[in-house]
Structure 1
């Protein structure tokens, strides 16, 4: 099993989760993060670090977020690994309150 970054991360891109990951499974895109399922060791240390509650175990994903299993796997192959905390976008706190953000996933 793996953990999955879901829609709430889009346009927020908080990287608190990256700092605690023992295996560097996070990849960073321009507006979101994803987890590489081939690298994730199912340790769950990232979950409480996410300020927008965007990280779920694969088997507990809300039904409307299941497509993010494939999205994480695909984009992890395209985006670079991120291993250090980076500042979030200036408008991250505003985006944290917005639902239905898939159209802004790059």
Structure 2
């Protein structure tokens, strides 16, 4: 499952359908562009609570995926705690993979 989700995240990055980092994700949520928020499993408790709060307030789903290092690989960074999918098709695809447990 992790590899399929990672592939979807790479494809979303290449297509320009994903943003990374706390400020960019907050901005995408506030502007109504975020379709799915991905938080690393080892992100701080504060980060997880913050984006769970945003999710409840705006209705944007939040999922946990991999470590900060794994999420960072998608963006060619050493680590990344949070990302937002802005493309509807990629968000549906990732949610589908997670729900099926492929």
Tell me the TM-score normalized by structure 1: 0.31
